[in-house]
Amino acid sequence: MKSLKLFAAACVALATLCAGSASAASYPVKPVTVVVGFAPGGTNDILARLVAAELEKRLGQPFIVENKPGASSMISANYVKNAKPDGYTLLVISSGGLTVNPAVYAENRVTYDPVKDFTPIALLATFPLVVTTGPNLKEVKDLSGLIAYAKQHKVPLAHGVATSTFQLAAEVLAEEAGIEFNHIPYKGSGPVVADLMGGQTDLAVLDSAAVMPSVQAGRLQALAVTTAKRSAALPEIPTVAESGLPGFDVTIWTGFVAPAGTPPEVVQTLNKALGEALAQPDIRQKFAQLGMDPGAADSKVLADATQKDLARWTKVAKEAGIRFE
């Protein structure tokens, strides 16, 4: 009798395993929710909707974008962390949400582990920040001129801060250039741009989508991009490295993750579809319009970027004394 019960239990376990494998292999069989931690209309929201539309086209099920903004993406990250790991709740999240939040917020504020609580799927896009000046520094024509100006005047330049990620990027720039910034916090890139044009701040390190319309209109000056190479989306703007700080590289990115424990078969299905999408010329053109370069449909690339940036920003935040309780 005992042997019979053990046999029956083994059969049930095997059937469950097979059912799970079959389900993962046929994924998706119902609508998928793509959570994004930003309000509708922002760069990452637009990116999430582009990706969702491409996945829906290739995988035959609706991919529905759900906005859960707030708390620097911590609300959306915590929501997805606690979702069932079956591939039907996914998260589009910025590098700041994954790697800067744990670096700058106290442990009791961040309710997720960026490595242990998520399964990496793909690095969707990379983009530079743009070192931008306004009318207060109209005589400054390039980054080397900005550095020389700051050293000559010996007064910290007023830097408009849209996010903690941008503040840390500016800290790296200031440290390597041997200058100082007085960081002024704002509730987003839009207000920073407005005050920069109005002369309330001297400069800002901002996402390209926020500043380029004003740069193209002649109201602001773009001095340099923070990536190691010139951005394909902004080829006319030199890099910080080209402008006198060799080796400088601050690349911002957007990742695509699932809850920890999501089956590998699901990740592989999403990777294949994303790889096809990111290779399409029209998609690459749409990314360029957002000031982004297409990333890699490879979970290892995202995992490596997360580990690298988490270590880097933890070090920068500690050395700069940036800590939010």
DSSP character string of 136-189: GGTT--SHHHHHHHHHHH-S-EEEEESSHHHHHHHHHHHHHHT--EEEEE-SSH
Residues 223, 245 contacting (CB under 8 angstroms) = no
Residue 177, pLDDT above cutoff 90? yes
CA angle 204, 205, 206 (to 5 degrees): 100
What pLDDT, on a 0 to 100 scale, did the predictor assign at position 23?
54
- Give the residue, 38 or 169, on which the prediction is more confident: 169
* pLDDT value of position 6: 46
Are the C-beta atoms of residues 186 and 89 closer than 8 Å to each other? Answer: no
Mean pLDDT, residues 203-232:
92
- pLDDT average, residue stretch 158-166: 93
Please give the distance of CA 244 from its chain centroid, rounded to a whole number. 26
Residue 173 or residue 106, greater confidence: 173
Taking the alpha carbons at both ends of the chain, their separation in whole angstroms is 60
- How confident is the model at residue 123, as a pLDDT? 97
Question: Per mean pLDDT, which of 35-44, 55-64, 158-167 is the most reliable?
Answer: 55-64
- Residue-wise pLDDT for 247-267, tens only, equals 999 999 999 999 999 999 999
Instruction: Out of 120-124, 183-187, 250-254, 308-312, pick the least confident.
Output: 183-187
Q: Please, which pLDDT band fits residue 160 given cuts at 50, 70 and 90?
A: very high
Percentage of the chain exceeding pLDDT 90: 76
Would you list the DSSP string of 7-51? HHHHHHHHHHHHHHHHHHHT--SS-EEEEESS-TTSHHHHHHHHH
**pLDDT for res 11:** 52
Mean pLDDT for all residues in the chain = 91
Q: Check pLDDT > 90 for residue 40.
A: no
**Segment 140-156, tens digit of pLDDT:** 999 999 999 999 998 89
Q: Is the pTM of this model over 0.75?
A: yes
pLDDT of residue 187: 82
Predicted confidence at residue 16, as pLDDT, reads: 47
What does the block give as tokens for 161?
Answer: 């801060």
The whole-number pLDDT of residue 325 equals 77
Which pLDDT tens digit goes with each residue over 286-307?
A: 998 888 899 999 999 999 999 9
242: its two tokens: 């080209």
CA angle, 170 as apex, 215 and 110 as ends, to 5°? 115
What the chain holds in terms of domains, given with CATH numbers, is 30-127+252-320 (3.40.190.150), 128-225 (3.40.190.10)
- Please tell me which residue, 201 or 39, carries the higher pLDDT value: 201
